[in-house]
Amino acid sequence: MGKLLTCVGLALLLHVQLGSSYILSCYFTNWGQYRPGAGKYFPTAIDPCLCDHLIYAFASMDNNMIKSYEWDDEKLYKEFAALKNQNGDLKTLLAIGGWNFGTPKFTAMVASAGNRQIFIKSVIKFLRQYEFDGLDIDWEYPGSRGSPPADKARYTVLCQELMAAFEAEGKQTNRPRLMLTAAVSAGKATIVAGYEIAKIGPILDYFHVMTYDFHGSWEHILGENSPLYRGPSDQGPLIYFNMDYAMNYWKSQGAPAEKLLVGFPTYGHTFALSSRTLTAVGDKNNGPGPAGQYTRQAGFWAYYEICTFLKQGATQAWDVPQMVPYAFNTQTWVGYDNIKSFNIKIDWLKKSGFGGAMVWSLDLDDFSGTFCGQGKYPLINTIKTGLGTGGSGCKARTQPLAPVTPTQHPSWHPSPQPHTQPQPQPHTQPQPKPSGGGGGSSGGGSSSGGSGFCASKAGGLYPDPTDKNAYYNCAQGRTYKENCAASLVFDTSCTCCNWP
């Protein structure tokens, strides 16, 4: 009995020393910098004590090698890594992919052992160069959106080879092993098509399950972005479109519960009402709601933009079956999350035995504390408090990181415009991601140097008169032709990609 009490006492002491057993991972988006005014977001705005893991979204890929995406990524990498000087326990990861990145480059990379090795070597070099602690694979999605069925097994092989290489490199260099995580779908059909769950379960460090974007204006009815449970209007495959089903499906198929991080969105999806009287979940909608002042994307509002909507007198309602709020005025409806719904989801998460939470994203919460009257990062701090993450506070590193030396940037840079517009999801099933759609890219782009369309124009975005899907990004007289995501058109009223 004495030995038992000693063991219990040691276990409790160890738990106190280690802090919470839960993990809170938060995504940073490298296009938040292009938002206007109070919506602009850089790594320097991040509270280094807020999250256990920070994930930088997104990196790109060319010729099977990882590469930066934005013109100033290397500067932002430096600011991101410097956060670890203020919190010695903080881990930073780099996410590659995203919704707008699509599938072709992933498919080409995993197609052969040679291509995979080129990728893996480039990843290790890149992560170490910029002081990241791991890689987050954000392939949306293997086996879907043009990715062939064979990619399901190849995804497993990629994970196996990445982890083997990370372990070998850690031993060779006597450094902590690089982490390997993945952002994964919460839609059942996409999960079935894309992941050998029982095989990748033991490999990945964590699964960032994108339990949001379950409903949006790509559907014809009003629906919640991230419902905890099934709603009365959910029929057919829609019965799977909720947090509870998605997370338990991952667990039932062989993903260790302690590795499953539940996706918490700090944004909502908006709809135009088809009638002032049709305001219930499941009622017909009339397409996306208006773009927000800062996020500038139709059908999508950051939490801080929703707070403004509420302060302007919108009617607030509680969706009892799905345990999330919604709000509306005479024209616009939004399904979202608030502190109450987050607390309910946190209690459910703990009772379900999952490993923690993932947030999309830092820049969509009220990071400045000026919009909602609930302090800085009210939603993310709700998770931190509820899960007890972050221990008793964070401590500075004893050995500061060596400075990262960026390579030379070109002398020009794009004007601060929202050239990165997430693509709306397909109509048939949710393709969560780390949304606001996830992505970092509006499509393809090409440059014509210091001549052509932009030669005599001020910096900014301009419509292409010959192609509604395309637009010109002018920067210091240089012409960059870019495309909106599929099905969207360039809208001069918001200077953004929008629904037709």
Residue that is written with structure tokens 């007198």 in the block: 313
Q: Which two tokens stand for residue 203?
A: 């490999």
Instruction: Return the DSSP state at 335.
Output: E
Nearest Cα neighbor of 27 from 421, 357, 449 is: 357
**Alpha carbon distances (Å) from 324 to 238, 334, 421:** 17, 11, 26
**Hey, what amino acid is at 91?**
K
**Alpha carbon distances (Å) from 15 to 10, 142, 267:** 9, 38, 33
Q: Which two tokens stand for residue 352?
A: 């379900």
**Alpha carbon distances (Å) from 181 to 117, 237, 341:** 18, 28, 26
Nearest Cα neighbor of 382 from 292, 482, 208, 266 is: 266
375-393 b/e (C-beta count within 10 Å ≥ 16 → b): ebbbbbbbbbebbebbeee
Residue that is written with structure tokens 């979202």 in the block: 336
Which are the contacts of 196, defined by CB distance < 8 A and separation ≥ 6? 152, 153, 155, 156
Largest CA distance in the chain: 85
Q: Which residues are catalytic?
A: 140
Cβ atoms < 10 Å from Cβ of 38: 13
Nearest Cα neighbor of 123 from 150, 87, 151, 162 is: 162
User: 209 with 197: CB under 8 angstroms?
Assistant: no
**Euclidean distance between CA atoms 402 and 420, whole angstroms:** 32
Q: Which two tokens stand for residue 288?
A: 């996306």
Nearest Cα neighbor of 31 from 289, 418, 319, 359 is: 418
**Euclidean distance between CA atoms 3 and 195, whole angstroms:** 44
**Euclidean distance between CA atoms 437 and 418, whole angstroms:** 14
Residues 32, 35, 40, CA angle at the centre, nearest 5°?
Answer: 65
Q: Alpha helices of 41-140 — where are they, by DSSP H?
A: 73-82, 104-110, 113-129
**Euclidean distance between CA atoms 240 and 186, whole angstroms:** 9
Which are the contacts of 95, defined by CB distance < 8 A and separation ≥ 6? 27, 55, 56, 57, 58, 59, 135, 136, 137, 138, 183, 434
